[in-house]
Amino acid sequence: MALSNELIKQKLIAKFEEQVSCFSDSYDMLTFEAPKEMNLKVLSFLFDDETLKFRFLTALCAVHYPESSGGELAVVYHLHSLSENVRIRFKVFTDIKKPDVYSATGLFSTANWMERETYDFYGVNFIGHPNLIRILNVEEMDYFPMRKEFPLEDQSRIDKDDEMFGR
């Protein structure tokens, strides 16, 4: 394998300088961040570069970090360069009050449903998406259920009087 994580990192820094940051190797996978306005530029650089060729979008999902104000929602791209067989993880953070991120559907057709799913559960507004509507939940739903402000029931709660199940 010719393409090492270090080499990818250097190429990214050479292209985007200090705009790409927070490089780390978590369990052998290169992880880095960029400002959310840059996401398409970074993705298309990774897609087009002749030595990198990250042309397979493995997964796209969001994560909610309620504590980090100004960047509560993270959109995580898992990319795979099939020719070099290297995977990387790329994150952008966005404010939950204005969760606008550019859509990657122009580069990857597969991003269509992945982004719809992310919108459905986290409310990330993908700008430029051809059909950004809910996919797994009902259309009438007016909240984004995977956000952390909707906790699942605490299994150890004692205030509930349930004769049948006696919790």
Partner 1 sequence: MTEQAHIKLQKGSIEKTTTTLNLGPTHPATHGVFQNILELDGERIVSATQTVGYIHRAFEKIAERRPLYQITPLTDRLNYCSSPLNNMGWHITCEKLLGIQTPKRVDYLRVIIMELSRISDHLICNSIVGVDTGAYTGFLYVMQYRELIYEIYEEICGSRLTTNMGRIGGFERNFNDVAFQKLEKFLKEYPAVLKEFINLFERNRIFMERTQGTGGIDADRALNYGFTGPNLRAAGIDYDVRVHTPYSSYQDFQFNIPTGTTGDNYDRWQVRNAEMWESLNIIEQAYRKVQEFKGTDADVFHANVSEYYLPEKKDVYTKMESLIWHFKIVMGEINMPVGEVYQSVEGANGELGFYLISDGGRTPYRLHFRRPCFIYYQAYDELVRGSMLSDAIVTLSSLNLIAGEMDA
**Residues in contact with partner 1 by the rule CB under 8 A:** 26-27, 29, 31, 55-59, 61, 63-64, 76, 78, 82, 85, 87, 89, 108-110, 112-114, 117, 121, 135-138, 145-146, 151-152, 155
Taking every pair of Cα atoms in the chain, the longest distance, rounded to a whole number of angstroms, is: 66
Closer to partner 1 by CB, 15 or 147: give it.
147
The label of the residue with tokens 């927070």 reads 22
CB neighbourhood size of 63 (10 A): 14
Report, in Å, the least distance between residue 125 CB and partner 1.
19
Closer to partner 1 by CB, 27 or 165: give it.
27
Instruction: Tell me which DSSP letter residue 147 carries.
Output: S
Is the dihedral angle over the CA atoms 151, 152, 154, 160 positive or is it negative? positive
Closer to partner 1 by CB, 51 or 109: give it.
109
Report, in Å, the least distance between residue 154 CB and partner 1.
8
Closer to partner 1 by CB, 37 or 59: give it.
59
Report, in Å, the least distance between residue 155 CB and partner 1.
7
Find the helix packing angle between 5-16 and 39-48, rounded to 10°.
120
The token pair that represents 19 in the structure block:
């705009």
